[in-house]
Amino acid sequence: MKSTTATSLRKQLFGVLERVTRSTPTRIRYKKGDAVLMSYRQYQALQRHRKPLKGRNVLRPLIDGTIVKPLNEDAEAELMRYMGL
C-alpha cells in the first residue's frame, strides 16, 4: 500500500486517483487520524466479503473501546473467528 500525507495528496490528487483506480490503495496520513483511499470496485469487494459480527453483544464493548475486564474464552474465540484467525 502506498502512503502519502494530506498535504501531498492535495498537490498530487489526480496522480493518486489514477493509482488508486488501478488497484493500489493509498494510506493518507493526517494529524487527526489516518485514512485509506481505495477504488469503488475495491470498496464493493470489501463490503461483499465483510464478515457479519455474530457475537455483537459479547464483542461490542471491545469494539467500542469500553471493555474494562479481560475477555473470557468464548469472547476471545468469537473475536478470533471474526478476525479470520
pTM of the full structure: 0.51
pLDDT value of position 55: 52
Domains of the chain: 2-49 (3.40.1620.10), 51-85 (no CATH)
Q: Which residues lie closer than 8 Å to 23 by C-beta, 6 or more apart? A: 39, 41, 42
Concatenated DSSP letters of 46-68: HHHHPPP-TTHHHHHHHHHT---
User: What's the pLDDT score for residue 60?
Assistant: 64
Which whole-number Å values give the CA distances from 64 to 32, 60, 75, in the listed order? Answer: 19, 6, 15
pLDDT along the chain (85 residues), means of 10: 87 90 85 86 75 58 62 71 62
pLDDT of residue 11: 92
Per-residue CA distances from 57 to 13, 16, 22, 24, 81 (Å):
41, 40, 39, 35, 15
Q: What is the pLDDT of residue 54?
A: 57
